[in-house]
Amino acid sequence: MADAGLLRFHVPEPEVRPGGTPDFSNVTIPKAGSVPRPEIDVDPRTIRDMAFSIIRVLNRAGEAVGPWAGLLSDDELLEGLRHMMTLRSFDARMQMAQRQGKTSFYMQHLGEEAVSCAFRKALALGDMNFPTYRQAGLLIADGYPMVTMMNQIYSNEADPLKGRQLPIMYSSKEHGFFSISGNLATQYIQAVGWAMASAISNDSKIAAAWIGDGSTAESDFHSALVFASTYKAPVVLNVVNNQWAISTFQGIARGGSGTFAARGLGFGIPSLRVDGNDYLAVHAVAKWAAERARKNLGPTLVEYVTYRVGAHSSSDDPSAYRPKAESDAWPLGDPIVRLKNHLIQRGVWSDERHTQAEAEILETVIAAQREAERHGTLHAGGKPSARDMFEGVYAEMPPHLRRQRQQAGV
Amino acid sequence: MPRRTMIEAIRDAMDVSMARDERVIVFGEDVGFFGGVFRCTQGLQAKYGKSRCFDAPISESGIVGSAIGMAAYGLKPCVEVQFADYVYPAYDQIVSEAARLRYRSNGDFTCPIVVRMPTGGGIFGGQTHSQSPEALFTHVSGLKVVVPSNPHDAKGLLIAAIEDPDPVIFLEPKRLYNGPFDGHHERPVTPWSKHELGEVADGHYTVPLGKAVIRRPGAAVTVLAYGTMVYVAEAAAEETGIDAEIIDLRTLLPLDLETIVGSVKKTGRCVIVHEATLTSGYGAELSALVQENCFYHLEAPVARVAGWDTPYPHAQEWDYFPGPARLGRALVETMEA
Ligand SMILES: Cc1ncc(C[n+]2csc(CCOP(=O)(O)OP(=O)(O)O)c2C)c(N)n1
Ligand SMILES: [Mg+2]
């Protein structure tokens, strides 16, 4: 169209809005097993196309195929399934507890369970994650007690964070889980710094940075890529692309770059995309990236292609901005169903055992919940004291805070 | 006159401004299609199109930085930062750029932008949805800082801010969005539809920047408040039976010193209240000004009631929040001093 040279302002739009028919036909899904697995010391320039593909292991028949398959034993896979089911069950209970007024806020992982659960298994003791609020699978898969998580969610008397933090903003150095900030992207560059420190100290530990698709727009994401690239920091740079950032579709943060993984290419960082709903693929790619970091080969950027099935948080209602059935149309399926089918296909699992496991897990979660609730919930029962509010601002309480605490009479 | 919530009043201010002036542009995170997480921009994209109301990437420095560029071109951006707690990535753009553009270019370039953001606590939002960073902006030469306390003022002040030739930080106390909250969290909040300040005229009007208002005339003590604390002060005056004169500052910078000084000279006593942390808070500035201008009329030390000097806690929200009981104690002490 001739427009006499007048400029036009461009704003990207998602394919479909509420009322429309969900359509992911524009999302190209390569066949499982079709993406090669390079050596970890590969020249990054030769694998640039991997930033535009999707590494997948599980095919439609539930078989594990291709060069990224074969790393996990039956027991490890069964454990992985249990972790994902636990996280889902935990989320459902805590989401309900929030609705019942037992806490102020909750964020769930529905549909994204494979990402954090499988990733954790690729790290070693002492490695450090710098997670966002949607990676509780890192804790579940590391055996962090659910009761402790719930105590934090309830801000009760047993909350390890003394009621100071918003629900789900956990922290556990012991479990390689850096304190969640809530300010997006800030921790991405901190992960790089932690990794640089490990290299400076000639240690063997590596770091993992976490960010959502939307948050990659923050400057801290780009700072992290520069530092990681310049110092070849031993860090895995994870981008969880769940298609949405609250009401904003991923195209607003991605712009013209094609994929989030491709952001790494300009920095010379090997950049991979992986099927985030495929436990085996996530684990295999995480292992590859972790090994690179540990062998002094530097950072890897990994984009997990997944879908946020639930609302952004307990304060959000997605029906206002995306079709209700969009998650059903998501072409990469459900991570739990896919691993379940694979295990059945392997002959080590069955529908009956799955149903039974579901019930067992629910029971465990409910038992943990009961125990946590004995210590109180946000508005009832045992609470952290008002004294706790004044502690921990500094290593040693300065006189002005001491005075204020006195004034508060606590 | 129609009654509106503060959200509706703020939306109406942008609507009226966009209709009157094509240069007014609205954007921010989740602001376009969805209409903002607090729904302050709902319907604006449908009405004015995607070139005038749109979703921004999650980059506060990008949002404010691009707004500055647009303002330099000649537009009048009114941008939203989703929570005041998330403004810090934009702080450099605000402090080093927006605030100084007129000065350093001797008026060759100017920066008529408005940066709106929800502020304050009371919603169990923990440390990342509760902060009151106004003093970080009043400390910066070149910025104006506005904190409305009701729908009528919010609309008039926002229109004035959009029409202002300089950058304005517009802090919206989120606990007031749906009703005048007085700190009594155990009671239901009266909705704005039942409050006279919920009356918001249709069409264009302004509440001038730099003009305070006396919300409750009184003879015993002057209370300087803004935002949510205006209602906390009203509750404290009523509960202590102290005849306080409550001034709603509305604009922190420029400040209506005349109204403050007139009142304190009359009452001889002054209590300052804000939700932000005490140390180096805006109350320190107010206290110094009162002391400089009213010293010989003061019958008691100027008192400050503020948030404790800790990050905003989650579970201990009501121990932290300076409610009517804490302010009431300060009023009594000031009367007895
Ligand atoms: C600096 C900052 N800006 C804005 C927000 C508000 N906010 C919280 S989550 C979110 C969306 C993040 O989306 P994405 O990065 O895709 O992660 P997801 O929630 O999808 O996991 C926004 C805008 C914030 N927490 N911090
Ligand atoms: Mg996302």
- Per-residue pLDDT band for A3 (boundaries 50, 70, 90) equals low
On average, the pLDDT of chain A sits at 97
Q: How many domains does chain A have?
A: 1
Ligand 2 centroid from CA B68, angstroms: 27
Find the angle CA(A211)-CA(A214)-CA(A218) to the nearest 5 degrees: 75
- Angstrom CA distances, A298 to A232, A240, A372, B203, stand at 4, 20, 42, 60
Ligand 2 centroid from CA B80, angstroms: 20
User: Does A347 fall in a domain?
Assistant: yes
Task: Name chain B contacts of A104, Cβ cutoff 8 Å.
Answer: 124-126, 314
Domain with A343 in it: what CATH number? 3.40.50.970
Task: Identify which of B58, B126, B309 has the shortest CB distance to residue A166.
Answer: B126
Ligand 1 centroid from CA A214, angstroms: 7
Question: Which strands form B76-80's sheet, in the order they lie side by side?
Answer: B53-55, B24-28, B76-80, B114-119, B168-173, B144-146, B251-253
| Catalytic site positions of B | 129
Cβ separation of B315 and A255 shorter than 8 Å? no
- Per-residue pLDDT band for B309 (boundaries 50, 70, 90) equals very high
Distance CA B268, CA B265 (A): 5
User: Does A385 fall in a domain?
Assistant: no
User: Does A26 fall in a domain?
Assistant: no
Distance CA A235, CA A269 (A): 11
Question: Is the confidence at residue B98, as pLDDT, over 60?
Answer: yes
Chain B nearest-CA residue for A250: B57
The preferred substitution site among A115, A246, A316 for testing ligand 1, maximizing ligand atoms within 8 Å of CB, is A246
Beta-strand runs (E) in A159-308: 207-212, 235-241, 244-245, 248-249, 271-275, 300-305
Question: Is the confidence at residue A2, as pLDDT, over 80?
Answer: no
What HEC string does chain B produce?
A: CCECCHHHHHHHHHHHHHHHCCCEEEEECCCCCCCCCCCCCCCHHHHHCCCCEEECCCCHHHHHHHHHHHHHHCCEEEEECCCHHHCHHHHHHHHHHHCCHHHHCCCCCCCCCEEEEEECCCCCCHHHCCCCCHHHHHCCCCCEEECCCCHHHHHHHHHHHHHCCCCEEEEEEHHHCCCCCCCCCCCCCCCHHHCHHHECCCCCCCCCCCCCEEEECCCCEEEEECCCHHHHHHHHHHHHCCCEEEEECCEEECCCHHHHHHHHHHHCCEEEEEEEECCCCHHHHHHHHHHHHHHHHCCCCCEEEEECCCCCCCCCHHHHCCCHHHHHHHHHHHHHC
Ligand 1 centroid from CA A212, angstroms: 7
Atom of ligand 1 nearest to the CA of B89: 1
pLDDT at position A179: 98
Question: Is the confidence at residue A6, as pLDDT, over 90?
Answer: yes
The residue with tokens 């860090």 is A235
Distance to chain B for A410, nearest Cα, Å: 10
Strands B53-55 and A235-241, sheet pairing: unpaired
Ramachandran quadrant class, B285 (left: phi over 0; alpha: psi -120 to 50; beta: rest): alpha
Judged by its nearest atom, the ligand closest to the C-alpha of residue A246 is 1
Atom of ligand 1 nearest to the CA of A112: 21
User: Beta-carbon neighbour count of residue A353 at 10 Å?
Assistant: 14
**Residue nearest to ligand 1 atom 13, measured at CA:** A245
User: Does A5 fall in a domain?
Assistant: no
A54 within 8 A of A273, measured Cβ to Cβ: yes
Q: Which domains does chain B have, with CATH numbers?
A: 3-199 (3.40.50.970), 213-336 (3.40.50.920)
The preferred substitution site among A110, A115, A215, A219 for testing ligand 1, maximizing ligand atoms within 8 Å of CB, is A215
Chain B nearest-CA residue for A406: B308
List all residues of chain A from 204 to 223 with a beta carbon under 8 Å from chain B. 214-215, 217-220
Length of chain B in terms of residues written: 337
Residues B257-269: tens digit of each pLDDT: 999 999 999 999 9
Question: Is the confidence at residue A190, as pLDDT, over 60?
Answer: yes
Instruction: Output the CA torsion sign for B83, B88, B94, B95.
Output: positive
B248 within 8 A of B212, measured Cβ to Cβ: yes
3-state secondary structure of A275: strand
Closest CA to B14 of B51, B52, B59: B52
Question: Is the confidence at residue A389, as pLDDT, over 80?
Answer: yes
Question: Is the confidence at residue A1, as pLDDT, over 80?
Answer: no
Cβ separation of B316 and A389 shorter than 8 Å? yes
Cβ separation of A410 and B319 shorter than 8 Å? yes
- Per-residue pLDDT band for A257 (boundaries 50, 70, 90) equals confident
Distance to chain B for A80, nearest Cα, Å: 33
Judged by its nearest atom, the ligand closest to the C-alpha of residue B29 is 1
Distance to chain A for B29, nearest Cα, Å: 8
Cβ separation of A11 and B125 shorter than 8 Å? no
Count Cβ atoms within 10 A of the Cβ of residue A185 and give its class: 0-12 exposed, 13-18 middle, 19 or more buried: buried
Residue A287 has φ and ψ, to the nearest 5°, of: -60, -45
Closest CA to B154 of B286, B33, B16: B16
A238 within 8 A of A210, measured Cβ to Cβ: yes
Cβ separation of B86 and A184 shorter than 8 Å? yes
Question: Is the confidence at residue A376, as pLDDT, over 80?
Answer: yes
Interchain contact A321–B (C-beta under 8 A): yes
User: Does A138 fall in a domain?
Assistant: yes
Ligand 1 centroid from CA A163, angstroms: 22
Residue B316 has φ and ψ, to the nearest 5°, of: -95, 30
**Residue nearest to ligand 1 atom 21, measured at CA:** A212
Distance to chain A for B193, nearest Cα, Å: 24
User: Does A251 fall in a domain?
Assistant: yes
Q: Which amino acid is at B72?
A: A
Query: Domain limits at A253?
Result: 44-312+323-379
Mean pLDDT, to the nearest integer, of B45-58?
Answer: 98
**Residue nearest to ligand 1 atom 8, measured at CA:** A184
Say if ligand 1 is within 6 A of residue A184 CB: yes
B175 within 8 A of B131, measured Cβ to Cβ: no
Distance CA A345, CA A348 (A): 8
Mean pLDDT, to the nearest integer, of A229-246?
Answer: 98
User: Beta-carbon neighbour count of residue A105 at 10 Å?
Assistant: 21
Question: Is the confidence at residue A364, as pLDDT, over 80?
Answer: yes
Strands A271-275 and A300-305, sheet pairing: parallel
Atom of ligand 1 nearest to the CA of A213: 16
What ipTM is given for this predicted complex?
0.97
Mean pLDDT, to the nearest integer, of A111-129?
Answer: 98
Distance CA A209, CA A181 (A): 13
Distance CA B298, CA A372 (A): 54
A305 within 8 A of A274, measured Cβ to Cβ: yes
Distance CA B32, CA B29 (A): 8
Say if ligand 1 is within 6 A of residue B85 CB: no
On average, the pLDDT of chain B sits at 98
Question: Is the confidence at residue A123, as pLDDT, over 90?
Answer: yes
A97 within 8 A of A372, measured Cβ to Cβ: no
User: Does A356 fall in a domain?
Assistant: yes
Residues B218-240: tens digit of each pLDDT: 999 999 999 999 999 999 999 99
pLDDT at position A27: 87
Distance CA B200, CA B176 (A): 15
List all residues of chain A from 155 to 184 with a beta carbon under 8 Å from chain B. 155, 159, 162-167, 169, 181-184
Say if ligand 1 is within 6 A of residue A315 CB: no
Strands A248-249 and A244-245, sheet pairing: antiparallel
Closest CA to A241 of A253, A257, A225: A253
Cβ separation of A215 and B62 shorter than 8 Å? no
Residues B144-197: tens digit of each pLDDT: 999 999 999 999 999 999 999 999 999 999 999 999 999 999 999 999 999 999
Closest CA to A304 of A247, A258, A243: A243
Element (H, E) at A84: helix A74-99
Strands B213-216 and B244-248, sheet pairing: antiparallel
3-state secondary structure of A191: helix
User: Does A227 fall in a domain?
Assistant: yes
Mean pLDDT, to the nearest integer, of B314-322?
Answer: 97
Task: Name the CA dihedral angle for A393, A396, A402, A408, rounded to a multiple of 10 degrees.
Answer: 40
Token code pair at residue B209: 């920047």
Say if ligand 1 is within 6 A of residue B86 CB: yes
Ligand 2 centroid from CA A116, angstroms: 14
Task: Identify which of B54, B59, B279 has the shortest CB distance to residue A400.
Answer: B279
pLDDT at position A4: 78
Q: What percent of chain A has pLDDT over 70?
A: 99
Residues A278-329: tens digit of each pLDDT: 999 999 999 999 999 999 999 999 999 999 999 999 999 999 999 999 999 9
Token code pair at residue A128: 């450090």
Distance to chain B for A27, nearest Cα, Å: 21
> Per-residue DSSP letters for A317-346?
-GGGTS-TTHHHH-TT--HHHHHHHHHHHH
Burial B94-105 (b: 16+ CB within 10 A, else e): bbebbbbbbeee
Residues B71-94: tens digit of each pLDDT: 999 999 999 999 999 999 999 999
Strands A300-305 and B24-28, sheet pairing: unpaired
**Residue nearest to ligand 1 atom 11, measured at CA:** A245
Strands A128-130 and A207-212, sheet pairing: parallel
